[in-house]
Amino acid sequence: MVRPVEQSPQGARLGAVAGSQSGVSVAQHSSRITIPELVSRKGGEPIAILTAYTAPVARLVDPHVDMILVGDTLGMVIYGMASTLPVTLDMMIAHGRAVVGASRHAAVVVDLPFGSYQASPAQAFASAVRVMAETGCDAVKLEGGTEMAETVAFLVARGIPVMGHVGLVPQSVHALGGYKARGRDPKEAKRIVANAVAIAAAGAFAIVIEATIDPVSREITAAVPVPTIGIGASAACDGQVLVIDDVLGLAGDFKPKLARRYVDLGSQIAEAARAYAADVKSHRFPGPENVYGVPKTGA
């Protein structure tokens, strides 16, 4: 199938990244929201973020959101994996490149997948360099708290904007004992707040707070000088992020508490598939208008 390909600014973004004096830098484009602009939204207009993993979806959400997150959730929603743990750096780069190439307005942040940054700051730098240079994205995101503060500082000092992620951290799902809300235990709540404070102090430009009870999320938002982005956290966060499949109703009967379904595309896709199959089997498709070399009616 051949489709027209729209010229994208991705090459320019990659060139700007590759040609910077430090080796890695955020490409500057007047039409795209920048990381400093997002940081300035602390306590102001809420930041709207959606995930996207493919060019068509990125193109559709781009005009309406402030940031597109290419999350490692793609392992579960695109590839049908049981968790995010098997996602590879190559997978993140491939999807990140597609999203950057299809978007113009929103900042694009790409997750560093499990095992690509935890070993050392040097490993994290090598992985982040690949992601930034090969996708043209604006920043990377990593999970963790005080134990990752040194790594965050290492990356930021070398020109790589970093978004943090605390609370429920899916890459540590086995250590946490499953996907359940965090912060109910006072000791855990104190630890999550300390994690967020440490990551912010290390230089993260924003912090995702996932599935963390409202009072703790509010405390974090008040305690750190950078925007907090909630997903199942609190309305008091400086922004919100949702997985696009949850928003579009593509997850079937799975309806996580932290999400809101805005349309039921799943049932519409199923109905479209049913109607198409019925038309094929009853010889209603293709019609004369769908084939070549057939004179138009009345011609």
Catalytic residues: 210
> In DSSP terms, which residues pair with 167 in a beta bridge?
210
Rg, C-alpha atoms of the chain = 21
Q: Where are the alpha helices (DSSP H) in the chain?
A: 10-18, 35-39, 55-61, 74-77, 89-102, 121-135, 149-157, 173-176, 186-202, 214-223, 244-248, 265-281
Q: Which of helix, strand or coil describes residue 248?
A: helix
Contact 230, 209 (CB under 8 A): yes
Own/partner contacts of 151-154, CB < 8 Å, gap of 24 or more, are 151/117, 151/120, 151/121, 151/124, 152/199, 152/202, 152/203, 152/204, 153/202, 153/203, 154/121, 154/122, 154/124, 154/125
